[in-house]
Amino acid sequence: MTIRHRLGAVLVLAAGWGCGGTPTGNSVPVASVTIEPDGVTLGIGQTVQLAVTLRDAAGAVLTDRSVTFSSTNASVVTVSSTGVVSAEAAGTASVTAAAEAETDAVTILVQPAPPGALTAADNFDRADGPLGPNWGGQTANLTLESGEVSMIQTTGNTGAVWAADAFGPDQFSEVVIGSLNGGSILDFRGIQVFTRFQSATSLRYAFHYFADIGDYQIKFDGGTPGEVLATLPAPPPGPGDVLRVEVRGSTIRGFVNGQLVLQATHTQLTGGEIGFLIGYTQGGQVRPRRTVTAWAGGEL
């Protein structure tokens, strides 16, 4: 099951182009087009922002040229005039970026959920109090408050692990951010979703917004201090936004509102549990309240 969510702000991985412009002055020809990322795998309904860099024959970046995009199979993936690719159906397609006489292309794979894939969900729509028997981990430090998850303790990180089902190694975990008690994720530290959690060591593959730095991170977490695998500086997510982490084989991907924003590879963890975590440190920060309003997870 995938949580339905509202569209959020587009997060651009990188950009080296302007759209809809025309060469000005004594412009030199475009000599090369580079489009990234390549080899992206998406689920149906997910998106990714492509980044295009144009260069002249001397290697200088050109920013005053028009770029057009096209898909070889619009029934599988569509692409907007600004390079946002949307996965429509299972299959493979190439997306091409063209500027003047030069082009580059990337391959997009859209995967369906396998037949019989096990999924779970919790919308926390019940009486205030404990999270309930489906949840394990540090749930003594969490409580339900008006259908949203709040922290009880006054410092540290608190994780909830889905305990009702065991999932295969290719997994996802996602949350809808709650009302934040009328504040911001910056008021505490951040919200994390994780996969392949190891209960004996707390090692896991995680995706979160880290308010201390102001970026999204994919992290091999649980060690000291853990290993950051990929980062993207960006404004913080807010109420109603969806954070999702997926792991397929050795590839970990982080999504915001269905759009792929980070990707990394790691090989140490091959299976485990899924869930979410709330981060908090003392020193002027408020207790994280009403942080998560829905969760879903399961097999890919």
Among 244, 247, 231, smallest CA distance to 197 is for 247
Residues 44-50: what's their mean pLDDT?
93
Each domain of the chain, given as residue ranges in start order, spans 32-111, 119-299
The pTM assigned to this predicted structure is 0.82
pLDDT of residue 152: 86
Which pLDDT tens digit goes with each residue over 246-270? Answer: 999 999 999 999 999 999 999 999 9
119-299 shares the fold of 32-111:
no
Which pLDDT tens digit goes with each residue over 127-170? Answer: 999 999 999 998 989 999 999 999 987 667 899 999 999 999 99
At residue 173 the predicted structure's pLDDT band, cuts being 50, 70 and 90, is: very high
pLDDT of residue 154: 63
| d(C-alpha 256, C-alpha 8), whole Å | 8
8: three-class secondary structure by DSSP: coil
Which pLDDT tens digit goes with each residue over 174-195? Answer: 999 999 988 888 888 889 999 9
Does CATH number 3.30.230.70 belong to domain 119-299? no
pLDDT of residue 282: 55
Rounded percentage of the chain residues whose pLDDT exceeds 70 = 89
Q: In sequence order, what are the residues at sequence separation of 6 or more whose Cβ sits closer than 8 angstroms to the Cβ of residue 29?
A: 56, 57, 100, 101
Which residues sit opposite 108 in a β-bridge?
40, 93
Residue 88 carries which DSSP code?
A: -
CATH architecture of 32-111: Sandwich (2.60)
pLDDT of residue 285: 67
Please say if the pLDDT value at position 117 is more than 80: yes
